[in-house]
Amino acid sequence: MKRRNFVQSSVLAGASLLTTGVLKAATLTGSTDPASLTAIATDKPFNLNYGIHDGMFKNHAGDDFIEQIKFAYDKGFRSIEDNGMSGRPEDQQKKIGDTLAKLGMGMGVFVQPGLGNDSNMLASGKADQVEKFIASCKQAVEIAKRINSKLVTVVPGDFVRNLPIGVQTGNVIEAIKKGTAILEPHGVIMVLEPLSDNPDLFLRTPDQAYAICKAVGSPSCKILYDMYHVQRNQGNIIPTLDLVYDEIGYYQIGDNPGRKEPGTGEVNYKNIFKHIYNKGYRGVLGMEHGTAGQGKEGELALIKAYREADSFM
């Protein structure tokens, strides 16, 4: 099977968009008045497959993530992502997976278990760091089985300032090759995320991740294209996306500044979503951002923002 076909089939697994939902003829006036905000335009599925995260609809559905998932389904969302999935008890992971299966919803990314953004030191090339990474990949396979997921977020960690950048890059590539050897037989894909959180992080731009993916040469190594981080680090979201498109395995959303929903910052998400749709991507786009407003009104305003950004057809 060709690598590109492998990735497309894996990324799309479980992300069903067949359920049409219930069409509710209502309109939003743009007012922040609670009575006005209770009428959401339609509850049909979106054109693209946006994935909510835990806490996004807690004011409507309560603290139980499963109840939030059901609420999101009723509002037209068809996927979730959960950075903290690996820290949940196994029975809760299974329950979330079962809920998604019953609703025909998809699972986006979860973060590599046991390792934070700066705790992987793959650039060092040290054996203990590589062993820890391999163990984490084995854990990720078991979690993926319980939740019917194919995507795990991986961050290589920080720079090692006393090593040349080429040596660090080589160390990262060799470690990731060992990780993909664990993941690939199970169809699990690690998506490498370039970040903008601090200047110490090794992986910062999509083109850097692209070079690593090409060197690794595995369908289980792809790019997580987080548009919030791309905008902060370099801008040019659409041209850069086109340059690295064949190695992108997943997208994440967040407007800048503020890292809130589309329409709250400077990024033209309607144009970006249209571009991604026209490229043929139908996998999950993770909603990895906060909510600009407060309470139920803020949550309904978030849904309205996605309806507006998704109205590119």
Determine the pLDDT at residue 118. 65
As a whole number of angstroms, the distance between CA 34 and CA 142 comes to 44
Which amino acid, one-letter code, is at 15?
A
Determine the pLDDT at residue 115. 74
Helix intervals (H) in the chain? 3-12, 34-37, 58-61, 65-74, 90-103, 127-147, 165-183, 206-216, 227-233, 237-244, 269-279, 295-309
Determine the pLDDT at residue 246. 98
Determine the pLDDT at residue 43. 87
Q: Which two tokens stand for residue 274?
A: 């249209």
Q: Per-residue pLDDT for the chain (313 aa), expressed as one digit of tens each? A: 444 444 444 444 444 333 333 333 333 334 444 444 444 444 899 999 999 999 999 999 999 999 999 999 999 999 999 999 999 999 999 999 999 999 999 999 999 997 766 667 999 999 999 999 999 999 999 999 999 999 999 999 999 999 999 999 999 999 999 999 999 999 999 999 999 999 999 999 999 999 999 999 999 999 999 999 999 999 999 999 999 999 999 999 999 999 999 999 999 999 999 999 999 999 999 999 999 999 999 999 999 999 999 999 9
Domain locations in the chain?
A: 3-14+37-309
Determine the pLDDT at residue 114. 78
Would you identify the CATH topology of the domain 3-14+37-309? TIM Barrel (3.20.20)
Residue 245 three-state SS: helix
Q: Please, are residues 258 and 265 in contact by the beta-carbon 8 Å criterion?
A: yes
